[in-house]
Structure 1
Amino acid sequence: MAMLAVAACGGGGGGGGALGTNNPGGNNPGGNNGITYTQGVFPLSSQLANQCAAPRPGTADRSGSAFTESMFLRSWTNELYLWYSEVPDISPANFTTAAYFEELKTPLTTPSGRDKDQFHFTYPTDVWEDLSQGGVEVGYGAQWMILRGQPPRQVVVAFVEPNTPASTASVQRGAEVLMADGVDVVNANTSSAVDQLNNAFFPAAPGEQHTFRIREVSGTVRDITLNSVAVTHQPVLTSSVIDQGGVPVGYLVFNDHIATAETQLIQTVTAMRNQNVRELILDLRYNGGGFLDIASELAYMIAGSAQTAGQSFERLVFNDKHPSTNPITGRPLAPTPFHSTAVGFPVTSGQRTAPGTPLPTLDLPRVYVITGNNTCSASESIINSLRGVDVEVYQIGSTTCGKPYGFYPQDNCGTTYFSIQFEGRNAKDFGTYPDGFTPINSPDIGSVDLPGCSVADDFSRPLGDPQEGRLRAALAYLASNNNPASCPSASGFTPDPGVSSKQSAATPDGQMFKSPLRENRLLRNELQDATML
């Protein structure tokens, strides 16, 4: 992943554009298996699959060419792409396969001027399988935030997970990285220097050792050495109950919809219920997504049974060729419900909740959600689906990433392709928010304006500190009985219109990079299909 050379990164599930294929395009004499291009005529993709320029031994691959690989992508897109009718039908003859895949998406833009499709990317199949099946992410336990990706760069620590090399080295939120492996993070501007920086920030395997010079919030500059490990993420990073004028207010930092989140969320909500929490501030500013069922469970625990009874959490909508059946699984389309009992996610470490365990509830008519442009996918589905059952949602922070869409990963000839195939909609049949949710006083153009305050991220204080900028604004807004006059001047902004958040050289709200497993919504009941949303 090219973290600092952000123009090289894709806009989808975690740097996919940097890992694209580069097969030669054009007609390969004798290798096209009799396949030709005719505008408007689309053979079945199943008839074109696995015809490869370089067949893999021991697989279903057979001899073909880059042209046949591209023709497969053309038919596959016509069958399953959500906006297939908007894709120009052009011959693949003069494109590499990777370049042709980039043409197989809608050219339209959203009202804000961003690309309508920002989530079109690829992974080498072996890399994707290791990631999706193993779920291991290598790092130091420090989540980097890129405030500026081009010189003069600025990289700070957004948070540190416990029991990791970064926590052992006493790295704190807000620390700015000045040097990495002797390279100037702020000013280095050669390809070799950028490669060194990316290697340091994003180690490829456990056991690597890299040095960093950091400037702490206090101003102290020090050098540290970090060894890369397979990081075990803590999805509920911190929680507390804050006394707000005699009202117990729950505060919860929730960073990942992963399997271990289920038990942690249940324990946290149970503790809040036992302390008679009457308001909740849900901090999703760094939550890129994960299992949709976890999102459903949390939404139910917030709203309770009375508001969610008989309502759907989210349903999937495919293109108009597939109005009632999932075209990948062949199953009838059915919505994800609000789960009132635990799914019982299996976990490799930590405590597992037994399937069917009744979930605790707070029974709240409203929730205050802290967001940023790193709030995506399953996190946005919490916001959208609570609004679908008339739970009031107040937003503090900046515009969310705008990702109501999903896809089934598709391998062909050693490359796994990700192309939008469906949209998630709430109980009121709403799910079109490609420009995200935005506080109503923000200058951003969002798809949905929510009551609340535009507030920039505050790296000068720990998460959970009542004086941290976004939490302070949320508490003040709540105390004012949701009076807009209590908001500070708008300061939380997303990337410039027309520029993908993954490509912006200067993202005012900051951009972090996670694996696709932490930046999407996973459909647990179809994991055998590796379904992602």
Structure 2
Amino acid sequence: MKKRIFISLLIISVLFVSCFEDADDNLQPASTIDIQNFIYRGLNYFYLYKADTPELANDAFANQDELNNFLNNYQTPETLFDYLLSSQDRFSNLYSDYTLIENALSGITLSNGMEFGLVYYPDNSGNVFGYVRYVLPNTDAQSQGLVRGDIFTTIDGQQLNENNYNDLLAPNSYTIGLATYDGTDFTLTGETALLNKTQYNENPVYKAETLTVNGNKIGYLMYNGFIKDYDTELNNAFAQFKADGVSSLVLDLRYNGGGSVETATDLASMITGQFNGQVFYKEFWNADRQPEYAENGVFDNTISNGSSISSLNLSQVYIITTRRSASASELVLNGLKPYIDAVQVGDTTTGKFQASFLLYDAPAPQFSRSEANPNHTYAMLPLVFKTANAAGNTDFTEGLFPQIPLQENYFNLGQLGDENEPLLAAALFEIAGRPMPSNKGVQYLKEFSDSNADSPIYGKMIGN
């Protein structure tokens, strides 16, 4: 019960934050040591891997003076935070401006509408090209006519490479240079697109359609983020699937980097429905917090606003994944496996099974926004618990491996939701015997980043 009260305070505090608000200019800035004390307190209390860092032990320092002497060894909050993290932690983050992550948790970002991946050239030159994954509606990218599969190699006339891509893509306005690839060389077409980022609310339910394939009614859902503010839209998609009489489902999480644990639980309950009240996931906290905070997450029958879940009662689901499928996406896949045939199509996932909470500089155990130190805007998302499914599967650091392995071909992506799109076609072949397009001669290259890499919540699993 105490844990749920704590979580509710965090959620309530986020809901009352206005978008992109500024800190009070009249307040006195907090000192570095004040911010560092907050970081230490938060990690000492909640950090999942606390035992890996001797300085986080409860008896590491005899008094506050000793602790301050230790903290003073680090010139910035960031260097202290990095030092205190465990070597097995790839995902905890510290933020100097918590309004950015609060907005991201509500689905509010700065976006030009072009969702893209970045891939190395095949010649090992260090040059990079971008490919358009999809275009968000009512954005600059849509008005410029960009479509999935477009390739770009320059920004503002400069060739993208492994050293400059961050700087070139960071501005709120830039011009991309479109190109073609003939299997050997990239050639600029002379076409360009000027893109401007604006504040954007992204509905993560990108595409929900019912396909009829060889007499089978098959639901297709492309879902791009576990954002609680859009739980109703997600539930409505399943209500439509149910009304359409679908007997199979393809859940496309290929670009879904995670989000809310509660929404992930609800999604699993929408797919099923016959396991209400049974264990969906188990929690494992640090030794200090485990007795008080650990609770099992269970399949449920209502979404966050209390509305009844529209469930399909399926015994099988096909889930499309790539290396960019992380955290809450992996929770859905891993959590379903003990109960139904969850068939993974595509590539291996990221390998993140831990969850985080947003901690502010406020008294323990709440660390709440309402009590946050008004003199700075630092907050952190440390890993606080890890999940296991009902069968105990956890610690999949290398990711979850597909039963039907197939990587995306950046030069022949196909259209999302189209029966000929390669990853969807692979699932439809298994479900309904629909012929698959040939993948002979496909050149697979290394993708290393994307348009969401700098998002404060990408790859995060946020506790209820």
Q: Given the two structures, how large is their TM-score scaled by the length of structure 2?
A: 0.76
User: Does residue 1:214 correspond to 2:178, yes or no?
Assistant: yes
Q: Deviations over 1:101-132 (max 9, x none)?
A: 2221223xxxxxxxx21113221035546635
- For 2:90, the equivalent position in structure 1 comes to 118
Q: CA shift at 1:179, angstroms? A: 2.2
Aligned counterpart for 1:402 among listed residues 351, 364, 367 = 351
The CA distance in 2 between the partners of 1:407 and 1:199, in whole Å, is 26
- For 2:18, the equivalent position in structure 1 comes to none
Q: Deviations over 1:64-113 (max 9, x none)?
A: x64x7556645643443212222254955644343232221223xxxxxx
Q: 1:297–1:71: structure 2 CA closer, same or farther, 3 Å change rule?
A: closer
Aligned counterpart for 2:80 among listed residues 100, 104, 111 = 100
- For 1:435, the equivalent position in structure 2 comes to 398
Contact between 2:356 and 2:463, CA under 8 Å: does it hold in 1? no
- For 2:300, the equivalent position in structure 1 comes to 339
The CA distance in 2 between the partners of 1:322 and 1:310, in whole Å, is 24
Q: Deviations over 1:14-42 (max 9, x none)?
A: xxxxxxxxxxxxxxxxxxxxxxxxxxxxx
| Secondary structure of the corresponding residue to residue 437 of structure 1 | coil
CA RMSD of aligned residues (A): 3.5
User: Does residue 1:238 correspond to 2:207, yes or no?
Assistant: yes
Task: Specify every segment of 5 or more residues in structure 1 that has no aligned partner in the other structure, as ranges.
Answer: 1-55, 108-115, 204-208, 327-332, 345-354, 440-450, 495-505, 525-533
Contact between 1:458 and 1:469, CA under 8 Å: does it hold in 2? no
Amino acid in the other structure paired with 1:267: N
Q: CA shift at 1:459, angstroms? A: 5.4
Q: Given the two structures, how large is their TM-score scaled by the length of structure 1?
A: 0.67
The CA distance in 2 between the partners of 1:245 and 1:224, in whole Å, is 41
Contact between 1:158 and 1:459, CA under 8 Å: does it hold in 2? no
Amino acid in the other structure paired with 2:139: T
Contact between 2:247 and 2:314, CA under 8 Å: does it hold in 1? yes
| Secondary structure of the corresponding residue to residue 438 of structure 1 | coil
Q: 1:195–1:319: structure 2 CA closer, same or farther, 3 Å change rule?
A: closer
Q: Deviations over 1:274-332 (max 9, x none)?
A: 2221111110001112222222222111112x2x1331333432111222213xxxxxx
Q: 1:457–1:282: structure 2 CA closer, same or farther, 3 Å change rule?
A: farther
Amino acid in the other structure paired with 1:321: D
Contact between 1:135 and 1:517, CA under 8 Å: does it hold in 2? no
User: Does residue 1:83 correspond to 2:49, yes or no?
Assistant: yes
The CA distance in 2 between the partners of 1:324 and 1:492, in whole Å, is 51
Q: 1:260–1:195: structure 2 CA closer, same or farther, 3 Å change rule?
A: closer
Aligned counterpart for 1:463 among listed residues 407, 416, 419 = 416
Q: 1:414–1:242: structure 2 CA closer, same or farther, 3 Å change rule?
A: closer
Contact between 2:107 and 2:229, CA under 8 Å: does it hold in 1? no
The CA distance in 2 between the partners of 1:434 and 1:83, in whole Å, is 15
The CA distance in 2 between the partners of 1:95 and 1:411, in whole Å, is 20
The CA distance in 2 between the partners of 1:394 and 1:195, in whole Å, is 36
Contact between 2:277 and 2:300, CA under 8 Å: does it hold in 1? no
Higher RCO (C-alpha 8 Å, min separation 6): 2
Q: 1:474–1:301: structure 2 CA closer, same or farther, 3 Å change rule?
A: same
Amino acid in the other structure paired with 2:462: L
- For 1:296, the equivalent position in structure 2 comes to 265
Q: CA shift at 1:177, angstroms? A: 1.6
- For 1:148, the equivalent position in structure 2 comes to 120
User: Does residue 1:373 correspond to 2:323, yes or no?
Assistant: yes
The CA distance in 2 between the partners of 1:301 and 1:286, in whole Å, is 20
Q: CA shift at 1:432, angstroms? A: 2.6
- For 1:26, the equivalent position in structure 2 comes to none
Alignment of 1:11-30 (within 5 A): none
- For 1:199, the equivalent position in structure 2 comes to 170
Aligned counterpart for 2:198 among listed residues 221, 229, 234 = 229
Q: CA shift at 1:239, angstroms? A: 2.5
Task: Specify every segment of 5 or more residues in structure 2 that has no aligned partner in the other structure, as ranges.
Answer: 1-24, 61-69, 362-375
Count of aligned residue pairs for this structure pair: 402
- For 1:452, the equivalent position in structure 2 comes to 404
Q: Deviations over 1:185-216 (max 9, x none)?
A: 258x5xxx65651334xx2xxxxx43222237
Identity %: 25
Q: CA shift at 1:257, angstroms? A: 1.5
| Secondary structure of the corresponding residue to residue 226 of structure 2 | coil
- For 1:30, the equivalent position in structure 2 comes to none
